[in-house]
Each structure stands twice: as C-alpha cells, then as structure tokens.
Chains A and B, each alone.
Chain A
C-alpha cells in the first residue's frame, strides 16, 4: 500500500482543519436543507478517508509534517500527522458520522445552526489533533468550544441555558489558565513549538510553566479534582450533542494531556506521581458517582470521569507499554462511550425520559437497541471478547510492568463498580419490569426481572402482571438505533480481531515514548 506522502502533507493535513470550516460556511449559507445535511455527513467521511491514508503512511513510525506557508521547521506553525494523531482523527470522524446520522433521525437537522456548528466544532477538534504548536492548540480548542456553547444552549430551555452558563464559565476558566500557562512557557523557553519543548520539562521553570497548561487541560478533560462540572452540564443538552461532546471535546483535553506529558516531561518526574494519584482518584470517584446517579446520561457522564482516569494513568506508567495502553484505551473508550450515549439517547427520544426510575423492561419491545446496549456495556466493563477487555488488559499490563500495585488494584476494583453501574442501567432500563407496572419505591434488586443474557444476575423473577397486560408498543426509529449498534459492533470487531489495532497502538506508544522522529520531523526543515 503506497500513499503519496507529499500530497498528504501539502493538502490533506491542512484540509482536515480547513475543510470542515469551509463546509460550515457553505452549509450556513444554504441553510437547513437536505444538501447541507448531506454535506454534514460527507465531511466526516472525507476526514475518515484522509485519516486512513495517514494511518497507512505512518504505521511504520514515519511522521507526516505540513509546515504551514512553507516557513522552515521550528518557525512555521506545523501540522503533524503521526500514528497517534491519525488514529484519533479516524475514530473521531467515525463517531461524528454516526452521531450525525443519529442527530438527523432525532430531528436536530432542521435547526439551521446545527450542521454548521458541528462542522466548526469538529474542524477545531481535528485541528487540535494535528497541530504541533501549543498556541495553535489553544486556538483549535477555542474553535471547537465556541460552537459547542451554541450547541449546548440551543434547545433554549432554562435547564439547558443554566447548564450552558456553567459549561461556559468552566471552559473560560480553563482557557484563561491555559493562556497564562502559554505566556509562562514562552517566557521561560522562547518557543511554544511542542517539538522544540520536548524533554525540557526536566528544567524546573519549564516544568512548572507547563504544569499550568496541564492543570488547564485536566479541567477540560474532567480529571479529578477538576471533574465536578462534567455531570452538571453534559446531561442537560440534547442526547446527540452529549454524544458528540463526550467523544470530541473531553477527548481533546485527554489527547493534549497525553501529547504534552509524554513529550515535555521525562519519566520519574514529580508530575508523574501527581498524575497517577489524580487518575486513581478519577477512577474511584467517577464510578462511585455513577452508581449514585438517577438518569441514563447522568450515569454515563459520571462514568466518563472514571474512564478518563483509566486512559490517562498509562501516560506515566511503564513508558512505551503504558502509552500503547493509552492509545488503545482512548480509541476503545471513544467508540464504546459514544455507542452507549447514542443508545441511551434513543431511549430518551422514544420514551420521553431518561430517568431510570420511570423506565424498565424495554428489552421485550426493543430487542435490537437492548442488544446494542448490552454489547457496549459488556465492552465497557471489560469482558472478552470485546475491545474493553484488551483495553483493560493493556492498563493492567502497564501497571504490572511499572510495579504499581495501587494502579493495578484500582483498575481491577473499579471494574466491579463499572459492572454495578451498567447493571443499574441494564436492569433499570432494558430489563426488569416495564414502567407503570412498578411501585415508585420498589427498587430492590430482588424485585427486578432479569433477562437471560444479563451478567451477574442474582435472581430471575417472572412478574405475572407484565405477562398478562403489556403496554402498547411503538417501534423505535431504526435510524436512532443503528448508530449505537454499529459502534457497539465495531467494539466487538476490535475485540475479536485485536491484533491489528494492538500493533498500531504499540507503534504509536513507542513513538510517543521516544519522540525523536516527531521532533526531527517538526523541526527538521520542509516536508
């Protein structure tokens, strides 16, 4: 397989950022119509094609660089595609495509702001994955955030507006902090080029200055102790938007943290200890919070915090092994979490509520959606043969390699909590007694009817009442169900044939651990 690297670096890489922006202008001028909705689907497909080409070009560890405007390396603002960026671009564009299908089915496409806003947001996200310049990263994050403010508050209800206000405040705080950190980094090093900063974190002044940026990014990634804004904002917009946000916006923070920590800091610095503690705390607090939530998206959002801990803990563990685990986990998590949000969103759209107490027994009438949930939930818990199993195995492997008993134990114990929160969703929403058949206060597990597929079922009780008179059933719209199912099947596919992604993650992890190729490509002259 040959890919024209010159074409990639000259055209494709900058177009990953510019293309969605141009498309956004076009769709905004056209207004809400079939044409603009079609463009909204076409752009993520195009980015996906580019990212596949990038993966092929970089799978041997090569780095594709585009020095914007042809300035020499080190002076130009570079766009870089290495394997990590390429994989992130691929998985992001995939989830944008599926979320777009879901949004159209949910009726969001009739809003003339929706398609342009999503396109600009995704453009910013792709740009953030591709840039090799800290200030440019800041700009890309802002490009992604501005339309997200609009999407957040678009439904116009008081609840959405309040959530949008909190969301805006949190992100404004993070951005201001990021900016201050940038000033500090530039002040002590005279550059904000990420390649030029490689390894400089060992100098105390640079380490502290970069630390300000790390704190700002942790806030965006919702890592404990800066996590509490996430469950207070994400569940209060429309389900499709929550799915997009979870797959794109928090992931920029996670991606940037991985990139910056692995590039700028050296293993064994104080920052690694702090990150490990924050990650383990995230794992535990996130999963406990999820258990206490009462809505589908509440559980899923809180659980994201736990997963962020799982993803990031590998950054500071066991070098290349840990970073490979990070890459694999990040990809797995993005797919599976989006699948769960989409399936949960289907329930909300079709049943009119996301409150677990008011739902139940949906599996009988809607077996396909329930299957999608079951597959994704099993993957999230980490049961073979799903991608989640290999992802967790990677984290455990890295923890064992680094000899970190704390991380190893936390990763295992928290899995039980994940099982608990998924059981809560599964038995409360899809299995169990259909709504209206159950007293408000009857929530003891023994009361719940459990399907034969449910993992860890404690007891099966057949409710006579439900067998006699089932409520009238309306079929769910297939286009709402299919996106979530498709992503769950992708996770199953990765889990059944993990070798190719494991080897890609391994290569990506090794080039993150030893960024020599990245540094020389970015700094070493033209493309």
Chain B
C-alpha cells in the first residue's frame, strides 16, 4: 500500500511538473516519473519478500527477495540517469543559443532547411 501511494504521488507530481512547462520543471518531472516507474517494477517483485536469499549458506526461499526486478530497476536507473544528463546538457545548450529558453514550446518552425544542408 505504501508503495502504491508513493507511486501515485510521484506520478502525479511528475506529470504536473512536466505539464507546467519550463526546462527545469520538465527535467525534475521526468526524474519523478522515472522513480514512479521504478517503484512499480520493485512492487512487481512483491514488497513483502525482502529477506536476503542466502544467509550463512542457507537458502531462505520463503521470504527471499526477487532479484529480477532489482536488476531491471538498476538497469533502468542507469539509463534514466544518462538520458537526464543529456537532457540537462541539451537544455543548457539551447539556453546558450537562445536567451529565451524558458517556457518556449517547439510547435511548427518556419524554415527547417538549415540542418546539415550545403546552402547555395
């Protein structure tokens, strides 16, 4: 139940931050949404099973924690971390290019032909 409430709170606040717009809120929002997804995976392994699987060479299968979701979450955290760092640098780069980065949505851009093309 605690996990469910935590997931709900994280997802709600995360969504709110993303929808509010603005670069920093956006990034924070995605971090929270990522945490929500990770907690869902952790809860999928069964929150009641949290003992170490091997103690003094004895197998405690009864309450042994499921290692697979933990491996999933570990992988997901690394990926989210990498993407977040990239998103931060992208925002910093965009801010450098344009002084009015905050609250700017992309929409339709007039002239798309400046990407990589050899201008004549």
Contact = CB atoms under 8 A, between A and B. Distances in A.
Contact of A349 (B38, B72, B104, B117): B117
B115 interface: yes
Contact of B83 (A106, A146, A166): A146
Interface residues of A, number: 56
Given A180-B40, A183-B40, A352-B119, A232 B112 contact: no
Interface stretch (A60-68, A168-176, A391-399, A459-467): A168-176
Contacts of B82: 146
Interface of A: 106-108, 135, 138-139, 142, 146, 149-150, 153, 155-166, 168-169, 172-173, 175-177, 179-180, 182-184, 186-187, 232, 235-241, 295, 297-298, 348-355
Contacts, number: 146
Contact of B118 (A107, A153, A166, A169): A107
Contacts of B107: 232
Contact of B113 (A186, A241, A295): A295
Nearest to A168: B87
Interface residues of B, number: 45
Contacts of A351: 120
B34 A238 contact: no
B75 interface: yes
Given A158-B98, A168-B86, A240 B116 contact: yes
B50 interface: no
A479 to B, nearest CB: 14
Interface in B58-102: 68-69, 72, 75-76, 79, 82-83, 86-87, 90-91, 93-94, 97-98
B36 A354 contact: no
Contacts of A187: 40, 43-45
Contact of A165 (B36, B79, B91): B91
B86 A162 contact: no
B37 A179 contact: yes
A238 B113 contact: no
B28 interface: no
A378 B49 CA distance: 60
